[in-house]
Structure 1
């Protein structure tokens, strides 16, 4: 039996990734997903299986009061996902 699989489009992926806690929900595939985005944008291969390649945070993992005040409610909603990166990548 032939299995038909429909891949999600960019809007569907964006919606899922914006509400997902990326580091928790995609722990197994996080490097693969980000590696594929990087390959697409940079047009160079990424060896995501290489242990030296890691996922880096763009913000401090522990925020001081100044960061918390500056980010306000946005921080609670988006601290664990990659929505900011998606706006750059897509």
Structure 2
């Protein structure tokens, strides 16, 4: 797996994309794939230090599990993100 630049850990909220996925225009610097694990069990988050194989998560599909910047304004009837 990759090594995450320590600067991202100082203020992770600034680097984690908004929404329910680990990407938007850019990919989350903490998201990774562990090639030693089977497909659909190989997603990994360096911020949480947790992978899909530990709790049956959806990190392999880049579904966010950290709850950072994942707010969606449902009152607008769409996927408009709350800042």
TM-score scaled by length of structure 1:
0.31
TM-score scaled by length of structure 2:
0.32
Higher share of residues assigned strand? 2
Higher share of residues assigned helix? 1
Higher relative contact order (CA 8 A, sep 6+): 1
